[in-house]
């Protein structure tokens, strides 16, 4: 897979480039926004991995450019991913918080690229999720791969929990509310989280 | 730290107010008592004179003192003993026989007529022996020769002095409060600036340390993996991986400190009790593995508006702390009472009874921490979250139970 990797810190850029190449990917590495933007426009990139504050460009600009070309994106962030991150309009397909292990990078790349290749929808009450475009179908509200994964787990009846799951659930419930959907994700003792609709 | 400064100013001003009020109150009370005693001395003198004021004769020594000139050095010349008192005292005395017939004994007053004075004296017959009447008059009731005498003296001049001092006291109190408030507000900034700076530096250090370690750790990880893939695993690369993973965990712990200072954190309405049930439930396996029990009382919904992220971290930190140090049991309770929300987490412990609020200080571990992993940040995160939600946190050990109470 052709990956565009944009990071301003040389050592990290080299390290990640090496890892991704060893995993069999074709990697184009750039240090700043203008270079990233130019390559995004010109070449056939399958995945964009970028830092949150890439010099020379606003993140929203870069993500919108990727979105226009239907290129999934991963944003490497120095911060913990919070509900605020998941509610921003220009949402990447995934966040990768620093510090991360090589397996975290690998898992995220596989997850995002795998979903981007799936022409599939998931029903969520009256709404449906267009997995390939990482958004609620027919809306501009985006989702991350993590949120989509959580919806799939709930659909299967899997038990979910932990800080990351709670963050995603809080963000999803807010997105349901914004879309006027009666669906909510609630917790039941000994049953765990489940999706409920309206007056359940 | 700004809240600490405001509390310092508030408590100090309250202390100043209490001290000044007590002091000025005592001074004015003593002053008023002295005025009353002087008035009683005069009415007593009149009663000894059967309703008439007997002028004092200070004698040769007294006259010498009086005519010496300069500031008076003898109190007798200034107070009720003064030889001039008889000329300046305004008073009246009426005597009543058993049938209630009034007899005018002395009348040296201009403020009331004889009829009004008689009625006034009659109205005092049912009162106590001595007291204040008509706001500036002192009276005395006494018996002599089968009759009841009522003497009323005018103390308006003496009371004028008292009220003057009282007014000055009140103005002084208000001025003192205002000046101390201003001084504390200005000085408080200077006093607290070093403390606030130290607190900021500590937070910045934690944030910087956490931030600056992230990239190097990721680079070391990535490069170590590449070395292993090119040249195979070795003891050294495995050791590097272990230590790096350990540091990654520590940095992630430090990283929670930044969450609560985010002014742009999303404020959502959510059910705190449901969140507590989930987080509490998730700790059950860990507790059961140590043969510990868990009880959760969080059935009724507790809806709050706030940073759900931070509240989740709060509950997780509380439960993690309880699970780490519990001997046999952990209890989690979340409820509401008249708009106030409570979170109570307790575990059995061998710590001695008493307040353990120091557990909320950064990098502080209590005496039972021993080899239990951690750096002493968990409960400090809890306090920061609680303060960000205008709540209160306390920790106490009582009868072998370590309890953290959060009020929101």
pLDDT in tens, B147-202: 999 999 999 988 999 999 999 999 999 999 999 888 888 887 777 778 778 877 77
- CATH no. for residue A44? 3.40.50.2300
pLDDT digits (tens, 9 = 90+) for B103-114: 999 999 998 999
A192/B259 touch (CB, cutoff 8 Å), yes or no: no
Q: How many domains does chain A have?
A: 2
Q: Max Cα separation, chain A?
A: 54
* In a shared domain, residues A154 and A109: no
Nearest to A70 by CA among A147, A131, A148: A131
Flag whether B309 is in a domain.
yes
Whether residue A194 lies within 8 A of chain B, CB to CB, comes out as no
B278/A193 touch (CB, cutoff 8 Å), yes or no: yes
* In a shared domain, residues A104 and A129: no
Contacts of A106 (CB under 8 A, 6+ apart): A19, A23
* In a shared domain, residues A11 and A101: yes
* In a shared domain, residues A42 and A129: no
* In a shared domain, residues A129 and A44: no
Domain end position, chosen among A90, A116, A142? A116
Whether residue B225 lies within 8 A of chain A, CB to CB, comes out as yes
Model confidence at A91, in pLDDT bands (50, 70, 90)?
very high
Give me the residue from B226, B278, B281 closest to A19, CB to CB: B226
How far away is chain A from the Cα of B316, in angstroms, using its nearest Cα?
8
Flag whether B340 is in a domain.
yes
Whether residue A82 lies within 8 A of chain B, CB to CB, comes out as yes
Chain A CB contacts of B271 below 8 Å: 186
pLDDT digits (tens, 9 = 90+) for B271-312: 888 889 888 888 888 888 889 999 999 888 888 888 887 888
Flag whether B255 is in a domain.
no
Whether residue B283 lies within 8 A of chain A, CB to CB, comes out as no
Domain end position, chosen among A84, A116, A148? A116
Nearest to B47 by CA among B154, B180, B184, B145: B145
Task: Give the nearest chain A residue to B313 (CA atoms).
Answer: A163
* In a shared domain, residues A99 and A129: no
Chain B CB contacts of A9 below 8 Å: 215
Q: Which residues pair with B104 in a beta bridge?
A: B94
Q: How many domains does chain B have?
A: 2
Flag whether B184 is in a domain.
no
**Gap between the terminal Cα atoms of chain B:** 20
* In a shared domain, residues A79 and A149: no
A167/B222 touch (CB, cutoff 8 Å), yes or no: no
Flag whether B376 is in a domain.
yes
* In a shared domain, residues A9 and A78: yes
Domain range spanning residue A135?
Answer: 121-197
At residue B310, what are phi and psi to the nearest 5 degrees? Answer: -65, -40
Lowest mean pLDDT among A186-200, B48-62, B107-121: B48-62
- CATH no. for residue B357? 3.30.565.10
DSSP B172-212: HHHHHHHHHHHHHHHHHHHHHHHHHHHHHHHHHHHHHHHHH
Domain end position, chosen among A116, A139, A156? A116
* In a shared domain, residues B12 and B150: yes
How far away is chain A from the Cα of B183, in angstroms, using its nearest Cα?
42
Flag whether B116 is in a domain.
yes
Answer with the residue of higher pLDDT: B249 or A94. Answer: A94
How far away is chain B from the Cα of A52, in angstroms, using its nearest Cα?
13
* In a shared domain, residues A151 and A103: no
* In a shared domain, residues B6 and B151: yes
Flag whether B325 is in a domain.
yes
What is the pLDDT at residue B388? 82
Write out the two tokens for A62.
Answer: 């870069």
* In a shared domain, residues A70 and A89: yes
- CATH no. for residue A178? 1.10.10
Is residue B131 pLDDT above 60, yes or no?
yes
What is the arithmetic mean of pLDDT over A114-143?
Answer: 89
Is residue A148 pLDDT above 90, yes or no?
yes
* In a shared domain, residues A135 and A90: no
* In a shared domain, residues A19 and A104: yes
* ipTM, interface predicted TM-score of the complex: 0.83
Task: Give the nearest chain B residue to A11 (CA atoms).
Answer: B219
Q: What percent of chain B has a predicted confidence (pLDDT) above 90?
A: 34
Domain range spanning residue B40?
Answer: 2-160
For testing contact with chain B, the best of A98, A106, A164 (most B CBs within 10 A) = A98
* In a shared domain, residues B267 and B150: no
């Amino acid at each position: 897979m052709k990956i565009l990797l944009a990071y301003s810190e040389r050592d990290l850029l080299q390290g990640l480039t090496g890892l991704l190449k060893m995993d069999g990917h074709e990697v184009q590495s750039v240090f700043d926004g203008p270079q990233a933007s130019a390559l995004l426009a010109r070449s056939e990139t399958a995945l964009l991995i970028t830092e949150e504050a890439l010099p020379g460009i606003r993140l929203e600009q870069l993500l919108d450019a990727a979105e226009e070309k239907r290129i999934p994106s991963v944003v490497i962030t120095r911060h913990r991913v919070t509900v605020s991150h998941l509610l921003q309009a220009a949402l990447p397909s995934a966040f990768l918080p620093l510090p991360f292990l090589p397996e975290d990078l690998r898992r995220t790349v596989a997850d995002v690229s795998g979903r981007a290749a799936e022409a599939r929808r998931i029903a969520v009450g009256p709404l449906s999720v267009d997995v390939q475009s990482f958004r609620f179908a027919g809306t501009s509200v985006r989702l991350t791969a993590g949120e989509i994964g959580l919806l799939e787990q709930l659909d299967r009846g899997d038990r979910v929990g932990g800080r990351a799951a709670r963050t995603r659930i809080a963000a999803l419930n807010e997105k349901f509310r914004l879309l006027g959907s009666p669906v909510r994700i609630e917790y039941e003792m000994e049953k765990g989280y489940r999706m409920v609709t309206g007056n359940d | 730290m700004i809240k600490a400064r405001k509390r310092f100013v508030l408590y100090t001003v309250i202390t100043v107010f209490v001290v000044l009020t007590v002091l000025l109150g005592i001074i004015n009370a003593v002053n008023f008592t002295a005025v009353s005693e002087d008035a009683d001395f005069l009415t007593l003198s009149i009663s000894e004179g059967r309703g008439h004021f007997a002028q004092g004769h200070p004698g040769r020594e007294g006259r010498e003192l009086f005519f010496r000139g300069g500031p008076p050095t003898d109190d007798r010349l200034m107070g009720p003993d003064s030889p001039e008192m008889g000329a300046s005292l305004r008073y009246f005395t009426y005597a009543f026989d058993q049938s209630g017939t009034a007899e005018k004994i002395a009348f040296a007053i201009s403020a009331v007529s004889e009829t009004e004075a008689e009625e006034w004296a009659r109205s005092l017959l049912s009162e106590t022996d001595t007291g204040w009447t008509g706001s500036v008059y002192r009276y005395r009731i006494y018996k002599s020769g089968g009759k009841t005498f009522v003497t009323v003296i005018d103390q308006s001049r003496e009371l004028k002095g008292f009220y003057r001092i009282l007014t000055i006291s009140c103005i002084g109190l208000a001025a003192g409060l205002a000046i101390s408030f201003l001084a504390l507000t200005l000085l408080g900034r200077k006093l607290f600036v070093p403390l606030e700076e130290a607190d900021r530096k500590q937070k910045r250090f934690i944030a910087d340390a956490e931030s600056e370690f992230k990239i190097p750790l990721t680079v070391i990880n990535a490069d170590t993996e590449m070395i292993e893939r090119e040249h195979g695993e070795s003891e050294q690369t495995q050791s590097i991986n272990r230590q790096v993973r350990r540091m990654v965990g520590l940095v992630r712990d430090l990283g929670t400190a930044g969450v609560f200072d985010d002014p742009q954190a999303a404020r959502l309405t959510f059910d705190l009790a449901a969140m507590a049930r989930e987080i509490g439930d998730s700790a059950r396996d860990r507790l059961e593995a140590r043969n510990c029990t868990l009880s959760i009382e969080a059935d009724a919904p507790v809806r709050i508006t706030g940073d759900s992220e931070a509240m989740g971290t709060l509950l997780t930190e509380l439960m993690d702390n309880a699970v780490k140090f519990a001997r046999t049991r952990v209890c989690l309770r979340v409820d509401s009472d008249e708009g106030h929300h409570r979170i109570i987490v307790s575990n059995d412990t061998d710590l001695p009874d008493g307040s353990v609020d120091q557990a909320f200080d950064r990098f502080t571990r209590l005496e039972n921490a021993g080899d239990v992993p951690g750096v002493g940040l968990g409960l400090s995160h809890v306090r920061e979250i609680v303060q960000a939600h205008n709540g209160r946190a306390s920790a106490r050990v009582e009868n072998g139970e370590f309890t953290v109470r959060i009020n929101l």
